[in-house]
Amino acid sequence: MNLTVVLPDGSARHVTCATKGSVMECMRAAGVPVRAECGGAMACATCHVRVDDAWIGKAGRAGDEESDLLDNSDYKTDQSRLSCQMKCAPALDGLTIALQLDAFEG
């Protein structure tokens, strides 16, 4: 699966990852500076990404529990997701996301 991650400074990282696991795990494995403090347990919102408009239909919107965690972010939008809750799948090949400032490790 190919993924484009736009960093807060506007630069983009193109990442290739396995079609298993989460988008957060994919970013970590590729060295993308995502905080992801809880390691994917959905106990924080430090893997917050904004899904590109063209992809929100395929990636889906945040569920209630996910949305509740994202409510603590100053950067939440209608396209916000926790990358730990987005599973890698062939249907998401080419996905473009923007790593939000509150999830950026840098």
Domains of the chain listed by start with CATH number: 2-103 (3.10.20.30)
For residue range 74-99, list pLDDT tens digits in order.
999 999 999 999 999 999 999 999 99
For residue range 23-70, list pLDDT tens digits in order.
999 999 999 999 999 999 999 999 999 999 999 999 999 999 999 999
**For residues 71 and 42, what is the distance between their CA atoms, to the nearest angstrom?**
13
Question: What pLDDT was estimated at residue 106?
Answer: 84
67-78 core/surface letters (b: 16 or more CB in 10 A; e: else): eebbeebebbee
Question: What pLDDT was estimated at residue 35?
Answer: 97
